A and B are shown apart, each in its own frame.
Chain A
Amino acid sequence: MGWKGVVELVVMGLTAAGELVKGILQRTGHLNEADPWLTLGMVGVQYLGRALTAEDNDTLKELLTRSPIDLWAEAGDIETENALIRQRQLERIGDRD
């Protein structure tokens, strides 16, 4: 068998391996070519997944996936200070007169 035969064998081998990987991905539910949502899912992965899959940044993933219900419950109250600022701003006008 000459070098062309070797190349052909390699190509066939890689094709078979590619099909095998594709089959495994389909079987495990990671790939469904008929599913239009795969494209959308990958768009989401492309954007948010870039941050979510950062191997060296588990903290980021943890923070990005925190429940808004917890986040809002922990949010600080600024309304008392806000009322004081408004009052000072109005009083300052009177001082100028």
Chain B
Amino acid sequence: MKSITLNLLIALVLILFSGIGGFVGCNQNTVEPHEIAISLASVPSQVCIAINNERNGILEQNGNALHEQAVREEWTSEREAQAVLELHQQDDILRSIVSPRYNNADGELVEGRCRIVTEYLARVAVGVESFEDLQTDGWERAVSDLLALVNELFDVLRDLGIVDLADWLNERVQIGEAGLGDLLRDVLRFAEQVLERAE
């Protein structure tokens, strides 16, 4: 008899938790799939734009550090010039990713890769009405391109002395009450989930 009572109590507790979960789940579902999809494109855009806005500061800071080292260690002007040109090449690589629009080596006005990838993702996200709509090849390819680009961005910035991009962003950019770096981490986790499911 005691075990029946215990089972009933456990069932009661489980049902109560389930009910609470149901309410919470219902509330969370007020987020539309379209909103999730567009934020997957919007957050990386804001990350790239924020990095581009800081690019000149990074270039100046690294250039000053390089010059001080050259003076301290009595480099030849040729060696310092070589090092400065390498720094400019690193900035060229960063620019090709995060700049909205720039003149490339051939003098052509082109858009940065982050802009191309995120705008494409945004166009795909326009038609998203359910999570099933995120199961298309076009969507998965766009998410895959985005992940590859962001990972490349992490590497390029590491070469420029920014070890952890997310922390660096959190210190500089807040969206509402959230750090942009934390939002980027959320986006990357979700993007990885999308691709894992696609496999």
Contact = CB atoms under 8 A, between A and B. Distances in A.
By size class, the interface of chain A is 35 or more
Contacts of B131: 35, 37-38, 40-41, 44
B32 to A, nearest CB: 9
Given A52-B31, A53-B30, A67-B38, A17 B19 contact: yes
Interface string B38-76: 111111011001001101100110010001001100000
Interface string A9-30: 0110011011001100100011
B3 interface: no
A17 B22 CA distance: 11
B95 to A, nearest CB: 8
Contacts of A21: 19, 22, 26
Contacts of B145: none
Contacts of B186: 47-48, 50-51
Given A18-B19, A48-B190, A78 B77 contact: no
Nearest to A22: B22
A68 B15 CA distance: 43
Contact of B28 (A53, A77, A93): A53
Contacts of B91: 82, 86
A93 B135 contact: no
Contacts of A11: 8, 11-12, 15
Contacts of A59: 176
Main secondary structure on chain A at its contact with chain B?
Answer: helix
Contacts of A46: 28
Contacts of B81: 90, 93
Contacts of B115: 68, 72
B2 to A, nearest CB: 11
A89 B80 CA distance: 10
Nearest to A75: B100
B22 A52 contact: no
A75 B100 CA distance: 7
Interface of B: 4-5, 8-9, 11-12, 15-16, 18-19, 22, 25-31, 33, 35-36, 38-43, 45-46, 49, 52-53, 55-56, 59-60, 63, 67, 70-71, 77, 80-81, 84, 87-88, 91, 95, 99-103, 111, 115, 118-119, 121-123, 130-132, 134-135, 175-178, 183, 186-187, 189-190, 193-194, 197
Given A10-B12, A21-B26, 4 more contacts: A14-B15, A42-B25, A44-B36, A77-B101
12 contacts: A18-B18, A29-B130, A31-B25, A37-B130, A37-B134, A37-B197, A43-B189, A61-B35, A65-B38, A89-B87, A92-B67, A93-B80
